[in-house]
């Protein structure tokens, strides 16, 4: 079995869901010359067309990433995201324990940029709506394992909602937290409705960073 076959969580004629490793960007950029685009040819699995990512995960976020196997499917899946027919769950380890056990963060987001720090997302009442539901799944050694269910899919949404909405950043977050060690954020599951066709459903196992932190058995 090849590396990408081993990381394929779902596949049919329209879709592939892979378990993206942390450290690999979805798209190339100035700081990320290596990206998933370098490996799309290995994800054809017999098709002539290259699959195309439908959404993105941050470079340091692992887990479920949906790819479309043809342009028609890509458009259909994009509509599903726009129409909120996609359910996603994430799990993260926070650098502390929230006072509440669960909650909803309704915090609009905008982008800011400075020459010193580069760009980042900030709470912005005039920005794009962003809503995230969360609950504490476990507490270990002063850190909370939190399951996030976002209603929207804004850039860095869960990361800034954790740091600004809950008040505790995700462990290892280099932008909104202390940046010590790997960022412990994982796209745990995805479900995409397809009308009369069976839904796309996939779950990604917790990565070694969670297991090494003694949290491989919390979910």
* Closest to 17 (Cα-Cα) out of 184, 155, 189: 189
What is the distance between the alpha carbons of residues 185 and 170, in angstroms, rounded to a whole number? Answer: 7
Which residue out of 6, 12, 58, 173 is catalytically annotated? 58
* Closest to 64 (Cα-Cα) out of 49, 76, 74, 54: 54
Residue 163 has φ and ψ, to the nearest 5°, of -70, -40
Whether 58 is catalytic: yes
* CA 106 to each of CA 189, 191, 204: distance values in angstroms, whole numbers, following the listed order: 22, 22, 27
Residue pair 219/204 in contact by the 8 Å Cβ criterion: no
Tokens of 108: 């609009």
Task: Count CB neighbours of 115 within 10 A.
Answer: 5
Q: Which residues contact 137 (CB under 8 A, 6 or more apart)?
A: 91, 145, 146, 147, 218, 219
Half-sphere CA count of 156, side-chain side, radius 13 A: 22
Does residue 51 sit in helix, strand or coil?
Answer: coil
Residues identified as active-site? 58
């Amino acid at each position: 079995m090849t590396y990408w076959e081993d990381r394929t969580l779902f596949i049919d004629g329209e879709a592939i869901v892979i378990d993206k490793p942390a450290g690999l960007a979805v798209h190339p950029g100035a700081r990320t010359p290596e990206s998933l685009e370098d490996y799309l040819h290995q994800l054809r699995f017999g098709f002539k067309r290259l699959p195309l990512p439908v959404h993105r995960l941050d470079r340091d976020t692992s887990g479920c990433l949906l790819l479309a196997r043809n342009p028609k499917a890509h458009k259909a899946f994009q509509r599903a995201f726009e129409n909120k027919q996609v359910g996603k769950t994430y799990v993260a380890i926070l650098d502390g324990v929230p006072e509440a056990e669960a909650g909803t963060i309704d915090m609009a987001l905008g982008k800011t940029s400075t020459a010193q720090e580069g760009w980042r997302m900030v709470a912005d009442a005039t920005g794009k709506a962003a809503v995230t539901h969360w609950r504490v799944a476990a507490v270990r050694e002063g850190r909370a394992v939190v399951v996030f269910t976002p209603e929207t899919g804004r850039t860095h949404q869960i990361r800034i909602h954790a740091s600004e909405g809950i008040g505790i950043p995700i462990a290892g977050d280099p932008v909104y937290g202390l940046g010590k060690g790997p960022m412990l954020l994982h796209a745990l599951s995805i479900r995409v409705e397809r009308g009369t066709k069976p839904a796309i459903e996939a779950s990604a196992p917790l990565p070694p960073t969670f297991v090494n932190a003694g949290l491989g058995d919390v979910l």
